[in-house]
Amino acid sequence: MTWTPWKQAWDQALYSESGFYRQPAGPAGHFSTATQGVPQIGEQLARALLTLMDQEGLHTFVDIGCGRGELLEQVGLPARRAKAYPHQLSGGQKQRVMIAMALACRPRLIIADEPTTALDVMVQAQVLDLLVSLVRELDVGLMMISHDLSVLGSTCDRVAVMYAGKIVETGDAEQVFGSPEHPYAAALSAAFPTIGDLSSRRAPKGLPGDPPDPTNLPSGCSFHVRCPVAFEACSTVEPPLLAVGAGRQAACLLVEARQS
């Protein structure tokens, strides 16, 4: 690798007054890539803790060392795992480290984008239980982004269903999945198999066609091309979000027709 003056100046800037070597944090994302392969887990946690040096009085390597151990224990990992490298951890352990990194900066809101991807069912349940318990314990908000309805239904109080980049229904999670008002939300709910129901396994339900090109959306309601209950006006009129009960909204002309 070519050692340029810019690289040398940047490298020197990564040393704090306490002598602790700081490396720039990698991009947030999937746990398999957001935890980098070379630095130890403790070093990557320390990067997040360094942002609190002025706010929380963390001025020494000792403070940071204690802080990263506490973070690991908070997510169910022993403090000694700070010396481990990412390749020495399982997928579930890496995801716990990611949660610890998110908590390091004392957030008021955690945005979890597909937090259970590539995890088996048992580990998935453990990670979700951990997230829910930490949210309650630390009194922080949690925004979950997922295509897995079982994850949203078991974790979230409220959900917003999106299609073609727009919210088509929002409300209480149990109500939206139990009695959806928008045809797309209904299709999502129907496509999710019911445990013990052989009919849902032998005859899974789905939607015809493909999602629209986001750069060339259909006129009117973006879902009308695939909607099983679409009528003529759906191809020309874009429905607004309409109230369909306490704390619930849906963007569908059928909802408007029932209310008129």
Q: Which two tokens stand for residue 259?
A: 């209310």
pTM summary value: 0.73
Note whether 13 and 99 are same-domain residues: yes
Q: Has residue 172 been placed in a domain?
A: yes
Note whether 149 and 226 are same-domain residues: no
Please give the torsion angle defined by the CA atoms of residues 123, 138, 65 and 49, in that order, rounded to the nearest 10 degrees: 100
C-alpha span between 196 and 215 (Å, rounded): 41
- Read off the amino acid at residue 26: G
pLDDT in tens, the chain (260 residues): 444 443 343 344 333 333 333 333 333 445 454 555 567 888 888 777 776 655 555 444 435 556 778 888 888 888 888 888 888 888 888 888 888 888 887 888 989 898 888 788 888 888 888 888 988 988 999 999 998 888 888 889 999 999 999 999 999 999 999 999 999 999 988 877 666 666 666 666 778 889 999 999 999 999 999 999 999 999 999 999 999 988 999 999 999 888 87
User: How many structural domains does the chain have?
Assistant: 3
| Residue ranges making up the domain that contains 194 | 158-205+219-259
Judge whether 38 and 23 are in contact, CB under 8 Å. no
C-alpha span between 197 and 182 (Å, rounded): 24
pLDDT at residue number 25: 37
